[in-house]
């Protein structure tokens, strides 16, 4: 039986792959553009690309500028003598805060990794149940989940504040982690994906084999939904990494990197090198997560549509 499931899993993966492959290369039957159309098309892409990338490139370049180049007038876009001194100076800039920079970095990583990890499993389990179980009320629940996609942490901040204080979690790690777990995007994306790519027959085979819900979930569902799993990790990590818990964290020891950004960036032009250095450091983790997950992201989003 175990073998039967494995072979079924294998054929399923092949099926998914074969479904994907041709659609990528089958752009055969398309119309060609007029020449002016081509010019507009490439100009548009080039302009949009510049608009997207220039500020980011600028921040990397500026973070490498020595002080005298930061103060040149008029400012030059490129750096002539790149240096890492802005990065080296960072810990020193925070010395008046009594908490070392490494603590903020640790907090950021700790909160982001723990919250993302919990979020993706909690969402996947709920999505699996919402997609495959026959429990009552699941369609109503999923409808509510879809509506809740509209509301994010900013809109809910005030009533949430009240709940945080009733739960007594203000100024603890909990308030930096728990609210993120309530976002419905993960459940939504995963439920749609499971609907589309996890056939009932696969689960039935597992159940006959005597596998319980949890074993089926971890052994069969998770491997099949890996693309959307990684996608949800990316979106969650991105959000949590950048989030600033407004007015709920006061202890310096618990603050994350984004919360001290303003303290560094408020230093004016002389500090702009270091401010850019923090910005660049802040960019690295989400970009790394994206690079790891990117091949799965586009593949997994095709089922994200909302009906009705």
Q: Of residues 109-148, which lie at the interface with another protein (CB under 8 A)?
A: 122-123, 125-126, 128-130, 132-135, 141, 144-145, 147-148
Q: Of residues 10, 15, 17, 33, which one binds another protein by CB under 8 A?
A: 33
Smaller CB separation from another protein, 97 or 244: 244
Minimum distance of another protein from residue 76's CB (angstroms): 10
Smaller CB separation from another protein, 98 or 250: 250
Choices 9-17, 88-96, 98-106, 200-208; region in contact with another protein by CB under 8 A? 200-208
Please give the residues from 174 up to 193 whose contact with another protein meets the rule CB under 8 A.
Answer: 178-179, 181-182, 184-185, 187
Q: Of residues 15, 88, 106, 151, which one binds another protein by CB under 8 A?
A: 151
Of 275, 266, 282, nearest in space to 86 by CA: 275
Please give the residues from 228 up to 247 whose contact with another protein meets the rule CB under 8 A.
Answer: 235, 238-239, 241-242, 244, 246-247
Smaller CB separation from another protein, 83 or 157: 157
Choices 10-18, 84-92, 102-110, 254-262; region in contact with another protein by CB under 8 A? 254-262
Instruction: Name residue, tokens 């996890």.
Output: 198
Euclidean distance between CA atoms 142 and 187, whole angstroms: 9
Q: Of residues 24, 35, 81, 98, which one binds another protein by CB under 8 A?
A: 24
Instruction: Name residue, tokens 């993966």.
Output: 13
Minimum distance of another protein from residue 207's CB (angstroms): 5
Euclidean distance between CA atoms 300 and 293, whole angstroms: 11
């Amino acid at each position: 039986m175990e073998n039967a499931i494995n072979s079924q899993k294998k054929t399923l993966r092949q099926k998914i792959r074969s479904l994907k492959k041709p659609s990528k290369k089958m752009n055969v039957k398309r119309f060609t553009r007029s020449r002016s159309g081509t010019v507009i098309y490439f100009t548009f892409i080039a302009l949009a690309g510049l608009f997207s990338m220039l500020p980011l490139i600028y921040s990397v370049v500026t973070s490498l500028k020595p002080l005298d180049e930061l103060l040149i007038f008029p400012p030059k876009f490129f750096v002539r003598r790149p240096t890492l001194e802005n990065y080296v100076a960072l810990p020193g800039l925070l010395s008046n805060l009594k908490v070392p920079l490494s603590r903020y970095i640790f907090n950021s990583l700790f909160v982001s990794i723990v919250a993302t990890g919990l979020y993706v499993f909690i969402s996947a389990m709920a999505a699996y149940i919402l997609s495959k179980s026959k429990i009552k009320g699941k369609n109503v629940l999923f409808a509510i989940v879809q509506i809740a996609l509209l509301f994010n942490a900013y809109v809910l901040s005030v009533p949430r504040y009240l709940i945080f204080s009733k739960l007594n979690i203000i100024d603890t790690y909990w308030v930096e982690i728990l609210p993120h777990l309530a976002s419905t995007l993960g459940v939504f994306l995963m439920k749609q994906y499971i609907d589309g790519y996890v056939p009932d027959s696969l689960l039935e085979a597992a159940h006959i084999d005597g596998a319980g819900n949890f074993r089926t979930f971890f052994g069969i569902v998770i491997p099949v939904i890996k693309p959307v799993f990684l996608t949800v990790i990316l979106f969650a990590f991105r959000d949590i990494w950048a989030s600033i818990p407004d007015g709920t964290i006061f202890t310096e020891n618990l603050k994350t990197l984004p919360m001290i950004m303003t303290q560094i960036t408020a230093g004016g032009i002389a500090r702009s090198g270091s401010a850019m250095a923090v910005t660049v450091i802040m960019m690295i983790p989400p970009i790394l997560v994206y690079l790891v997950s990117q091949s799965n992201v586009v593949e997994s989003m095709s089922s994200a549509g909302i009906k009705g």
